[in-house]
Amino acid sequence: MNSPVMQQEDDLRIHPQKVVLWVGMVSIVMVFAALSSALIVRQGEGNWNFFEMPLAFWITSALVILSSGTMYYALRAAEKKNLSATVTGLWITALLGVAFLAGQFIGWTQLADAGIYFRDNPSNSFLIVLTGLHGLHLLGGLIAVVTVLVKSILLRYKPGEILGLELCSTYWHFMGALWIYLFLFLLYHY
């Protein structure tokens, strides 16, 4: 039997996979902070295109907020051991994630239709690199959502043991928050 002190130490420990996830997310923040800083410096040098954000980017912002809500719903359902609601929440989250990525592609198409191409101006390049890099990271999150969804359907999670879903949820919310930051940042600088 564990003593109360040993039990408290066990309760204070963070799962190693959570630590790895947080280190990874901090690394991603550093990459986007560096790119954001570089954009500000480059914009100050002049020769900067100013244009309106594509409508698709506004829509994808709403989609990513909705997907955070459905991911939250899925995690809460899993904590209550409600498999049906967990699977439903994950399905909707996955569909919203696919819609987000499709919307980003449509946004790039809208940019191209407006004559905004990657090589024409540094402002164009920064916009496409920032949104594309975020899209790649979100694609990784979408793969995690689908993996967790399949494991949920196949009953791979035991009651009370939902670490994979917790990790996926944390990363998904992080990706959503990162997009909102990027969108607001880009709105201000374009």
Q: Output the six-digit token pair for 42.
A: 């480059």
* HSE toward the beta carbon, residue 108, CA cutoff 13 A: 16
Rounded CA gap, 76 and 157, in Å? Answer: 14
Per-residue pLDDT of the chain (190 residues; tens, 9 = 90+): 555 555 555 566 889 999 999 999 999 999 999 999 999 999 999 889 898 999 999 999 999 999 999 999 999 999 999 999 999 999 999 999 999 999 999 999 999 999 899 888 999 999 999 999 999 999 999 999 999 999 999 988 777 789 999 999 999 999 999 999 999 999 999 8
Sorted by sequence, the CB contacts under 8 Å of residue 119 that are 6+ apart come out as 125
Handedness of CA 73, 77, 82, 87 (dihedral sign): positive
pLDDT at 10: 57
Sorted by sequence, the CB contacts under 8 Å of residue 68 that are 6+ apart come out as 172, 173, 176
Domains of the chain, first to last: 13-189 (1.20.120.80)
CA-CA-CA-CA dihedral for 15, 18, 23, 28, to nearest 10: 180
